[in-house]
Amino acid sequence: MRWLNRFVIGPLSPKWALQREAAARALKAFYEASEPARTRKDRADRRSANVLNDKSLVKLRTQARHLEENLDIASGALDVLVANTVGTGIRPEPQVLLTSGEPAEDVNRQLLQLYDDWHYRPEVTWEHDYYALQRLLARSWYRDGEAFLQHIVGPAPLLDHGTTVPYSLEALEADFVPVDFNDQARGIRQGVERSEWGKPRAYFVYLNHPGEQLATGAYVSAPLATKRVLADRMSHLKFTKRLHQVRGMTLFAPVLIRFDDIKEIDESERVAARVAAAMAAYVKKGTPDTYEAPTQTDEQGNPLPRELQWEPGIIFDNLRPGEDIGTIASNRPNNALIPFRDAQLRSGAAGLMTSYSSLSKNYTGTYSAQRQELVEQFVVYRMLASPFVYRVCQPVWDNLVTAALAAGELRLTAGVDRSTLYDCSHTAPPMVWIDPVKEAEALVLQMQWGLKSRSRIIRERGDSPDQVNREIRQDQRDRERFGIRIGEGGGPAPQSDDGDENSATAEARRVLDTIDAVAKRGKGGRPVVLNLHTGATERP
């Protein structure tokens, strides 16, 4: 209504006209993306994550499983995620302390011995060791969006723990907790009973898998019986992207359509390439006035079929008048397919939180680009490993310690700080070294300057400091016993001039003195690099 302000209101009341103009501008001050346009749809869905999951969660989970079973890229993506977040297994390391602040070595040793006995049969079926169970749980978590783990501590009907500590795990797929089980009066939403503050109190679990088939091929009759499992006996590992989300969503949700298209394109290109390879040539038969009909016929007067053998350097001398040989131009394999497919895989890798190189198995590129990709992706893998440790590994350790105490298998010595009884560190898969020599030198300098402890370095490499220290001590004893000289052919080590230490010990002292020299030179402001092979120092 600009004309109204300009020609009617303005001459009578300029102030009023200005106020109307300012109010109109304020109403139009919005994000352009918030308004629909001809080329942009209006996304106005304000429903909660749980309402959206009611309709889509099970369908998307089923599609993700189908892709894993039928698309090599999807199966490989899960392999990459599991290998970099769980790997060969996340091993616990107890950190119980004495009241003096020193490590409670006796208690920690007992806990490790009990764990070593338990981890071979950690679950009720005795089919998986603890590390294999971790990989299955992580795979279910990424593919299905969630997984459940029931903790069974102490005696249970018809259950043989099979371990010194009476503690077992029951791993459950997401299907065991019904998504369509809701009861507002009891606070049950999607099979989870929650308090007024939203804290889980219990889970309703099917006694049998709802997709299990009988020998006749018919599904188990409904309704299925459920049991109520208290929340303190259940670990719920779920992948969520919104607050207040009760159930987890598959990691494949953003890329399902893209991966399905890639699968269809790959199949179409393979079929086209097979057809092009099978079709070699054809006979062109001219017009009727120039074409001579075949003269060889069978007993009924029908023309006999003719075969022209195709071979390298062939000369066709049996063509009839008017006939010609034509070849079919094959446009397969399609040269444009590779860059298009790579672009799709890059987008898919971003949605799946994996690296493009790992997903496509394409490791071309410069050293700097490969290292940047590895370092950046390693942070993502650590981010994914963190909830797995806190939702699975640490609760398992807490219940293992509790069961060991209740069964009298763990004997506490005097002076143990009971507040640290459940303290434990969990070692996730380490980042692979690209340049081992340079990275090892950097770690030595960090340790020497007090920026990082030797124990932390060992843990980051996926090992246990206690075990490494024991192995080093045993190696030192063996070298002294057999007179082994490290790095000099393995021959017997002669005695030094003072007769008190062999050359291996003297070599170790020389390396330590060199490290001290590196630290002193570094204080001058110029960096110094230690060559661990020669023991020499170099300035870059």
Q: Distance of alpha carbon 83 from its chain centroid, rounded?
A: 7
φ, ψ dihedrals at 522, nearest 5°? -65, -25
Percentage of the chain lying above the pLDDT 70 cut:
79
Clarify whether residues 21 and 110 are in a common domain: no
8 Å CB contact between 439 and 460: no
Is residue 407 assigned to a domain?
Answer: no
Integer Cα distance of 525 and 25 in angstroms: 59
Is pLDDT of 408 > 90?
Answer: yes
pLDDT for the residue numbered 391: 95
Q: Is residue 197 part of a domain?
A: yes
Taking residues 257-286, what's their average pLDDT?
82
pLDDT at 506: 58
- Tens of pLDDT along 320-333? 777 777 776 667 77
Q: Of 101, 95, 108, which Cα lies nearest the Cα of 413?
A: 108
Q: How confident is the model at residue 280 (pLDDT cuts 50, 70, 90)?
A: low
- For the cut 80, the answer to whether the pLDDT of residue 187 exceeds it is yes
Query: In the prediction, which pLDDT does 354 show?
Result: 92
Given a cut of 50, is residue 500 above it in pLDDT? no
Q: Are 236 and 200 in contact (CB under 8 A)?
A: yes
Q: CA–CA separation, 344 vs 71, rounded Å?
A: 15
Give the per-residue pLDDT at 117. Answer: 96
Same domain, 65 and 199: yes
**Is pLDDT larger for residue 510 or for residue 235?**
235
The proportion of the chain whose per-residue pLDDT surpasses 90, expressed as a percent, equals 45
Among candidate residues 184, 219, 251, the one where a domain is terminated = 251
pLDDT (tens digit, 9 = 90+) per residue, 129-183? Answer: 999 999 999 999 999 999 999 999 999 999 999 999 999 999 999 999 999 999 9
Using CA atoms, how far residue 452 sits from 425, 442, 444, 460, 524, in Å, is 17, 11, 9, 11, 21
Closest by Cα among 267, 281, 276 to 332: 276
Domain C-terminal end among 231, 251, 271: 251
Please check the confidence at residue 310 and state whether its pLDDT lies above 60. Answer: yes
SS (H, E, C) 10-29: HHHCHHHHHHHHHHHHHHCC
Please say if the pLDDT value at position 30 is more than 50. Answer: yes
Whether the Cβ atoms of residue 108 and residue 96 lie closer than 8 Å to each other:
yes
Same domain flag for 26 and 90:
no
> Considering its fold, how many domains does the chain have in total?
3
Q: Is 433 left (phi over 0), alpha (psi -120 to 50) or beta?
A: beta
Chain centroid to CA 519: 39
Q: Which of 233, 251, 269 is the last residue of a domain?
A: 251
> Rounded mean pLDDT of 499-528?
53
Do both 128 and 234 map to the same domain?
Answer: yes
Question: Could you read off the pLDDT of 425-455 as tens digits, one per residue?
Answer: 998 888 777 777 888 888 888 888 888 888 8
pLDDT (0 to 100) of residue 474: 85
Q: What are 360-387's pLDDT values in tens digits?
A: 888 887 878 888 888 888 889 999 999 9
**DSSP type of residue 97:** B
6 and 123 within one domain:
no
The H-or-E segment that residue 273 falls in is helix 256-278
What is the DSSP code (8-state) at residue 223?
A: S
481-497 b/e with 16+ CB inside 10 Å = b? Answer: eeebbeeeeeeebeeee
What predicted TM-score, i.e. pTM, was given to this entire model? 0.75
The whole domain housing 522 covers: 435-540
Containing H/E element for 504? helix 503-522
pLDDT of 57 over the 80 cut: yes
Question: Closest by alpha carbon to 177, among 134, 142, 145?
Answer: 145
Distance between CA atoms of residues 440 and 452, nearest Å: 13
* pLDDT tens sequence across 462-496: 777 877 888 888 888 888 888 887 654 444 444 44
Same domain, 19 and 80: no
Cα 127 from chain centroid (whole Å) = 23
Residue 108 lies in a domain: yes
* String of DSSP letters for 488-501: TTT-BPPB-TTSSS
Residues 92 and 186 in one domain: yes
Q: Residue 219 is which amino acid?
A: Y
146 vs 241: CA distance, rounded Å: 13
The string of DSSP letters for 337-373 reads: HHHHHHHHHHHHHHHHT--HHHHHT---S-HHHHHHH
Question: For residue 5, what is the DSSP state?
Answer: I
Statement to judge: residues 25 and 103 lie in one domain: no
Question: Both 14 and 80 in a single domain?
Answer: no
